[in-house]
Structure 1
């Protein structure tokens, strides 16, 4: 994660925002009164979707089971038609 001061972010805001989007990496802005993290819209959307999927205990358990099966080599590729 990139870390910049508030002054650095203010003086080069376009460069900071471009780096967040282009590098797909969040930037922490260190400032008095509390730090702020900037993430791209794609990263934010991904986090919101993940939180939504994991908010349902049954869905979270199903996803955990699928991950365990994949790690154990028990999964097989499927096409969308097969699903």
Structure 2
């Protein structure tokens, strides 16, 4: 994921365009006001996804299960199941 950096002034003068870039192109934009004062703008759904991933990986048991599942998938050890029984 590349992060585009723009100045605070550029963000202010072109806020609508910057906002659209983030939403439409899934860009992550770093906005720098001063040399050490920077914020990052990203789509709320992207942020939620990142937070969920961090939460899931913060528990070592859960992280190991996820890694095991990814490995099984990569090795073709998959099977289809009917999920209807698991819904409400």
TM-score, normalised relative to structure 1: 0.86
Equivalence for 1:61: 64
In the comparison of the two structures, how many residue pairs are matched?
A: 83
For residues 52 and 42 of structure 2, what CA distance do their matches in structure 1 show?
Answer: 15
Root mean square deviation of aligned Cα: 1.7
Match for 2:9 among 7, 26, 47? Answer: 7
For structure 2, the 5+ residue unaligned runs are none
Equivalence for 2:48: 45
For residues 32 and 82 of structure 2, what CA distance do their matches in structure 1 show?
Answer: 46
Equivalence for 1:28: 30
Runs of 4 or more, structure 1, over 6 Å off, are none
- Residue 82 of structure 1: CA displacement? 6.9
Q: Say if 2:70 is the partner of 1:70.
A: no
Structure having the higher strand fraction is: 2
Partner SS, residue 46 of structure 1: helix
Deviates more, 1:53-62 or 1:70-79: 70-79
TM-score, normalised relative to structure 2: 0.81
